[in-house]
């Protein structure tokens, strides 16, 4: 959360923003981030920053794996990442572990 906020603050500074009014995040289902915990942390880390009082929108993205054998992507139903076509275990996690800052809204 801290590093995401830093990215947001840098962007806001580049735009000469006086305030950040909203942040839009995307977190992976596997990132280990609990939405409620993130919302709480957000209030704490944004205190006394440009982002104080900003609204927070969080999109959760499902886990997506890639099977080399079938050359296809799939969403594993369990954490073992077994390809539904061939049964091979995938070690390539395409999505599900990220925490990205999608966009911010600012006031200048
Ligand atoms: Zn496969």
pLDDT tens digit sequence for 45-64: 999 999 999 999 999 888 89
Instruction: Compute the distance from residue 65 Cα to the ligand 1 centre, in Å.
Output: 10
- Domain 2-107 fold: hypothetical protein PF0899 fold (3.30.2320)
Instruction: Compute the distance from residue 66 Cα to the ligand 1 centre, in Å.
Output: 8
pLDDT tens digit sequence for 5-57: 999 999 999 999 999 999 999 999 888 888 888 889 999 999 999 999 999 99
| Residue 103 phi, psi (nearest 5) | -160, 160
Cα pseudo-dihedral 56, 75, 78, 86, rounded to 10: -170
Categorize the per-residue pLDDT at 97 as very low, low, confident or very high, splitting at 50, 70 and 90.
Answer: confident
Is pLDDT at 91 greater than 90 in this prediction?
no
At 79 the pLDDT is 65
Rounded to two decimals, what is the model's pTM?
0.75
Instruction: Compute the distance from residue 95 Cα to the ligand 1 centre, in Å.
Output: 17
Instruction: Compute the distance from residue 6 Cα to the ligand 1 centre, in Å.
Output: 39
């Amino acid at each position: 959360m801290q590093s995401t906020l830093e990215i947001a603050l840098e962007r806001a500074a580049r735009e000469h923003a006086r305030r950040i009014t909203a942040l839009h995040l995307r977190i992976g289902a596997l990132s280990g981030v609990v939405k409620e915990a993130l919302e709480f942390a957000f209030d704490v880390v944004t205190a006394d920053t440009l982002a104080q009082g900003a609204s927070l929108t969080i999109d959760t993205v499902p886990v997506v794996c890639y099977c080399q054998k079938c050359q296809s992507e799939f969403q594993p139903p369990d954490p073992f990442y077994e390809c539904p076509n061939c049964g091979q275990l995938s070690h390539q996690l395409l999505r599900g572990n990220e925490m990205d800052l999608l966009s911010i809204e600012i006031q200048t």
